[in-house]
Amino acid sequence: MHPIANGYGPRWLQVIFPFLRWLPSVDRGTLKADLVAGITGAVIVLPQGVAYALIAGLPPEYGLYTAIITPVVAGLFGSSWHLVSGPTAAISIIVFSVVGGVVSPDSGQFLPYVLALTFMAGVIQLALGLARLGALVNFISHTVVIGFTAGAAVLIGTSQLEHFFGLNLPAGQTFIGTLMEVAERLPELNPYSVAIAALTIMTAVLLRRFAPRVPNMLMAMVLASVVCWLIDGSENGVALIGAMPGQLPPFSLPPLGFETFRELAPGALAVAIIALIEAVSIGRAVAVRSHQRIDGNQEFIGQGLSNIAGSFFSCYAGSGSFTRTGANYDAGARTPLAAIFAAIAVALTLLFIPQMTAYLPMPAMSGVLMVIAWNLVDVHHIRQIVRASRQETMILVATLLATLLLALEFAIYLGVLVSLVLYLRRTAQPSIVSLAPMGDREGRPLRNVAKRELAICPQLAVLRVDGSIFFGAVNHVQTVMESVTAHGQRHILMIGSGVNFIDIAGAELLANQAAQLRVAGGGLYLCEFKAPALETVRRGGYIDAIGEENIFVSPKVAIAELVPNRLDPDRCRECRARVFVECRRMPGAE
């Protein structure tokens, strides 16, 4: 980690312009390191930018426009030294899905709506950052993101079957519709297209495996272009991308009418949230290696400003890129100037070598996109989720299927909804464990009755509650306590070390149960409850029904008081269980 000076200007100015914090650290050494890293990043983003633009349903130059404007603004106004923003696969497929659901991809309105979506997503991100709501991304679980990304990868791969096989399919097909259409028209495939696509995939995979420092996607596309030229692919039905316009990102004005906002609002929220999750998680991941502290709210602001600015310069929604960020750090980047140098290199390439895609075959791009799609599938974590938790697996499968079968933005919402439902289900049924002393252990510690097959006291039940007692859990807690009293135990000692809070409904439950047990000749006793958890009980006056004398600091103190003084001596005289040490001094003890 290189030292960062105090920055230029007063603190309030650094808050507005965060790049003033790291500018003093720039010197000849950091400039050289950032320049090398920037050139490396440009080599990586050139094929990716073209590929991701095609995923978004846009001409290839729009991916490079996004790789020029977005990383500069995000780098200047974000908090990470190494995060590289720009076009990404997941955001590209969401953009295509959202806008394609409103206007046809072949329509002249498609691009203006993409720009409007980008502007709206940026405004949402900026608003969340200014409101200091960076913690909101934590409500979308890692499992939802993995499931969504895997589903998006399948959609990307499916969308490229048309170019892989050299077919001409109708636009706007669903996932199932595309598969059925490809299966029906498979006999019409173009063998030249299939050969070029397969060669691209094989080259990219082998280079990544045996020569990881070589830009595998770029080299695979170059080789495929050469082979296509040698076999005269264009004369044999192989589609070419064509040359790009040799210009910098042109000024554009997104349509900002009310109707456009109404149609794109749900999708804009999905784009904003997923883009933020990508950017913040990638920034934090690389910060662990660079020993930097990431400000999530500042990243929200940086991402928001980059998308707002990008929408006025022909860019579509961008986010942090895992591939380019990792390569940027590994190449020795020291400051966000590395991302700016990469953007400059892309701009120069676009200006002076616009014909670089003139002979690039579409099957080669489909092959690159299929490799990208496969890399999006986090097989390692999917296996971990399946092995570790049935509920998390349900969330994963639900999000994955929703991504394939529903509009992408609703797939994200569904995944979050399923996560919340399962979370609420878990919290609504806190674990309540029956405990009893282990007679063969020193100190006779309290342990789980069911697991150890321990004898219990016929009069006093010891229950440990592992979870908060709130309105959602009241019914479950009441049911368990009633099942205890149904077996003749009129005294209940509740251990609350695992109870974080009690709301009004929970306090009323405890008061009512205490009153009922008292009428039945028993009582409710609390021990090891945290002071904040009992605050509602005391402030609401519910403690009067329970009794301050029935609250104990520990199970040992509680049992020492309850067994000799509160239990029915006649029942103790006939009891043979004698589970507590105090039972030995009770009437009838041998």
The angle formed by the CA atoms of residues 426, 431 and 436, to the nearest 5 degrees, is: 175
Name the token pair of 262.
């109404």
| pLDDT exceeds 60 at position 3 | no
Alpha carbon distance 175, 311 (integer Å): 29
| HSE-up (13 A, CA, CB side) for residue 45 | 42
The confidence score (pLDDT) of residue 590 equals 54
The angle formed by the CA atoms of residues 431, 436 and 439, to the nearest 5 degrees, is: 145
* Residue 142 backbone dihedrals phi, psi, to 5 degrees: -60, -35
Name the token pair of 514.
């205490």
Q: Token pair 């009153």 is at which residue?
A: 515
Alpha carbon distance 399, 420 (integer Å): 13
Alpha carbon distance 202, 3 (integer Å): 44
Alpha carbon distance 581, 589 (integer Å): 11
State the alpha helices, DSSP H only, in 377-489: 379-388, 390-405, 408-428, 449-452, 474-486
pLDDT band for 491, please (50, 70, 90 cuts). Answer: very high
Mean pLDDT to the nearest integer, 17-22: 87
| pLDDT exceeds 80 at position 399 | yes
Where along the chain do its domains lie? 25-419, 429-585
In the chain, the amino acid numbered 27 is: D
pTM for the whole structure: 0.75
The angle formed by the CA atoms of residues 205, 242 and 238, to the nearest 5 degrees, is: 65
What angle do the packed helices 296-311 and 61-77 form, to 10 degrees? Answer: 140
Residue 461 belongs to what H/E stretch?
strand 460-466
The angle formed by the CA atoms of residues 330, 38 and 300, to the nearest 5 degrees, is: 80
Alpha carbon distance 335, 214 (integer Å): 24
pLDDT band for 588, please (50, 70, 90 cuts). Answer: low
Cβ neighbours for 419, distance < 8 A, ≥ 6 positions apart: 140, 141, 143, 144, 395
The answer to whether the beta carbons of residues 333 and 44 sit under 8 Å apart is: no
| pLDDT exceeds 80 at position 144 | yes
Alpha carbon distance 263, 409 (integer Å): 13
Mind listing the pLDDT tens digit for each residue in 61-85?
A: 999 999 999 999 999 999 899 999 9
Report the mean per-residue pLDDT for the chain: 89
Q: Which residues face 126 on adjacent strands? A: none
The confidence score (pLDDT) of residue 123 equals 97
Q: How far is CA 186 from CA 124, 182, 270, 367, in A?
A: 44, 6, 35, 17
pLDDT band for 14, please (50, 70, 90 cuts). Answer: confident
Task: Sort strands 460-466 and 446-448 into parallel, antiparallel or unpaired.
Answer: unpaired
The confidence score (pLDDT) of residue 586 equals 67
Which DSSP symbol is given to 131? T
The confidence score (pLDDT) of residue 344 equals 96
- From 584, 275, 319, select the one nearest 444 (Cα to Cα): 584
The confidence score (pLDDT) of residue 1 equals 41
| pLDDT exceeds 80 at position 442 | no
What angle do the packed helices 142-159 and 175-185 form, to 10 degrees? Answer: 30
| pLDDT exceeds 50 at position 4 | no
Mind listing the pLDDT tens digit for each residue in 345-397?
A: 999 999 999 888 888 899 998 898 898 888 888 899 999 999 988 888 998 99
- From 493, 503, 508, 512, select the one nearest 553 (Cα to Cα): 493
| pLDDT exceeds 60 at position 43 | yes
| pLDDT exceeds 60 at position 589 | no
Which 3-state string (H, E, C) describes 507-552? Answer: HHHHHHHHHHHHHCCCEEEEECCCHHHHHHHHHCCCHHHHCHHHEE
With H, G, I as helix, E, B as strand and everything else as coil, classify residue 319: strand
Q: What is the dihedral of CA 74, 352, 56, 111, to 10 degrees?
A: 90
Buried b (16+ CB within 10 A) or exposed e, 117-142: bbbbbbbbbbebbeeeebeebeebbe
Name the token pair of 553.
């600091």
Alpha carbon distance 206, 198 (integer Å): 12
20-29, 409-418, 468-477, 543-552: lowest mean pLDDT where? 409-418
Cβ neighbours for 565, distance < 8 A, ≥ 6 positions apart: none
The answer to whether the beta carbons of residues 192 and 233 sit under 8 Å apart is: yes
| HSE-up (13 A, CA, CB side) for residue 522 | 22
In the chain, the amino acid numbered 152 is: A
Does the structural domain 429-585 have CATH classification 2.40.10.170? no
Alpha carbon distance 525, 537 (integer Å): 13
With H, G, I as helix, E, B as strand and everything else as coil, classify residue 496: coil
| pLDDT exceeds 80 at position 441 | no
pLDDT band for 286, please (50, 70, 90 cuts). Answer: confident
Mind listing the pLDDT tens digit for each residue in 293-344?
A: 888 889 999 999 999 999 999 999 999 998 889 888 888 889 999 999 999 9
Mean pLDDT to the nearest integer, 491-514: 94
Q: Token pair 């934590």 is at which residue?
A: 138
Q: What is the dihedral of CA 557, 560, 565, 570, to 10 degrees?
A: 140
The confidence score (pLDDT) of residue 579 equals 86
The confidence score (pLDDT) of residue 216 equals 86
With H, G, I as helix, E, B as strand and everything else as coil, classify residue 48: helix
